Amino acid sequence: MSHPYVVCDVFTDKALEGNQLGVFTDARAIPDEQMQRLAREMNFSETTFVLPAEADGTARIRIFTPATELPFAGHPTLGTAVVLAEARGLDLVRLETQSGIVPVTIDRRNGAPTFGRMEQPLPSVAPYELADELLAALRVNRSELPVEVYDNGVRHAYVMLASPEAVASLRPETGALEQLGNVGANAFAGFGTRYKTRMFGTGMGVTEDPATGSAAGPLALHLVRHGRVPWGTEIEISQGVEIGRPSRLFARAVGSPDRLERVEVGGSAVIVARGEFLL
């Protein structure tokens, strides 16, 4: 059977940068077990499989890393939305994920669907129970803000360093990060509305991620909760430079200390390849 797919680079407007994503545009004939094997074959940080909608969404998607399935992830959701917007002529794509429906508004810049903004699932927040182990694995002494873990379908823990240069120079202990299990280790630094991040997801099968949409929204929330950025302010995030995949993400948390209303993450995506698996 032929299984068509698209490759797009997400959180960039330049081909061969950003975060790679494989999108199988019609996964109805692909068995569950084969989805995981195909994601391993693609060997991107995530691969998505598009299925018919079951609720009132545009489509249902399943998201796989090379090692496991995820209920939600940011760059796969945004990239898949751009692919479907191009194929179906849509300006709003509502994707059914295991964490609920994620709406993605499409901006047709220069006539093509190249920029999307998604409203992410609202995350839970808690102190990170392995904060000391995380600091040791990153080989840093302290965090400028409390080390907390956010869960919007993917668990991300955050460590703030003193400067972007300190983030760039990190050389973490991969084995120690893997022992933390299924959590993204996010190191970040910045000032005002511009921040630099690196995300190490060794326990999720991703050594270092070029652009992490599921971590960008909680990062904006982390900053507003601790008074570094006003509520509703959009931040710009740089990621992926150290692994040769520079990326740019935009995020904001809207609400107040008493009530979080929504978390938004936006960015560009470009389609760079099309093909098919013959299985």
- Could you give the CA distance from residue 70 to residue 35 in angstroms, rounded to a whole number? 12
- Could you give the CA distance from residue 178 to residue 1 in angstroms, rounded to a whole number? 37
Residue 21, amino acid: L
Which residue, chain included where needed, has tokens 């400067």? Answer: 163
Which one of the listed residues 17, 33, 41, 46 is annotated catalytic? 46
Structure tokens at 72: 């939600």
Beta strand residue intervals within 29-110, DSSP E: 46-51, 59-64, 69-70, 92-97, 100-107
- Could you give the CA distance from residue 83 to residue 73 in angstroms, rounded to a whole number? 16
Please indicate whether residue 41 is annotated as part of the active site. Answer: no
Structure tokens at 206: 């991703």
Helix (H) or strand (E) holding 264: strand 259-278
Which residue, chain included where needed, has tokens 């940080």? Answer: 45
Beta-strand relationship, 194-201 and 235-239: parallel
Residues designated as active site: 46
